[in-house]
Amino acid sequence: MDEDAFRRWRNNYFAFWAVCETRACRRAKRCAGDPKSCYDRIWPHMPERIKFDFRVTLKAINEGLPP
């Protein structure tokens, strides 16, 4: 998976499209704009607990453990 595909997946996982400024994202109900700028704009406002859980889940997946 390339970097942009991962970014879109992550943005969709958190449903950033619901609060995205890009109308195409809200219309498609998925990340349809610039995934990096959306992430940079919304991620800082995510609660730390959600960020922590997400990072732990990704680490477990990368180590071959089930999610």
CB 16 within 8 A of CB 40: no
How far, in Å, CA of 24 to CA of 38, rounded?
12
In the prediction, which pLDDT does 66 show? 72
Structural domain contains residue 29? yes
Q: What is the pLDDT of residues 14-66, one digit of tens each?
A: 999 999 989 999 999 999 999 999 999 999 999 999 999 999 988 998 898 87
pLDDT of residue 67: 60
Distance separating alpha carbons of residues 58 and 67, to the nearest angstrom: 8
Rounded to an integer, what distance in angstroms lies between the CA atom of residue 19 and that of residue 26? 8
**Per the domain annotation, does 10 fall within a domain?**
yes
Domain limits at 58? Answer: 3-62
Q: What is the pLDDT of residue 1?
A: 76
